[in-house]
Amino acid sequence: MGLLSGVLLLPLAPVRGVVWISDRLVDAAEAELYDPAVIRVQLSELNRALDDGVIDLARFEREEEQLLDILDRKKAPVPGVRP
């Protein structure tokens, strides 16, 4: 980046900083969302809730399917989608 373009683009520096921070936040959130250890804990809590009678079987199956889908997506990345 030349001196002139650096000076002209200086007002955009805060915007670039916000974009960079938001990208890091999205990466961290996705890492936590798709972490297999976190999903296993959620599955365990879901099983415990079913055993304790807090949720019914239909809700258990629905939520379990969502969690297992997340695990499957993590194992087999979709082409063209950022992992």
Q: Between the CA of residue 62 and those of 12, 31, 45, 55, 73, what are the distances in Å?
A: 46, 23, 14, 11, 17
Query: Average of pLDDT values for 5-32?
Result: 85
End-to-end CA distance of the chain: 30
Query: Average of pLDDT values for 9-13?
Result: 79
Query: Average of pLDDT values for 27-44?
Result: 88
pLDDT of residue 77: 52
Query: Does residue 81 or residue 51 have the better pLDDT?
Result: 51
Q: Between the CA of residue 22 and those of 17, 18, 34, 74, what are the distances in Å?
A: 9, 6, 18, 22
pLDDT of residue 14: 86
Q: Between the CA of residue 80 and those of 11, 58, 68, 73, what are the distances in Å?
A: 33, 34, 22, 13
- Please tell me the pTM assigned to this model: 0.59
47, pLDDT greater than 60: yes
Torsion of CA 35, 40, 43, 48, to 10 degrees: -140
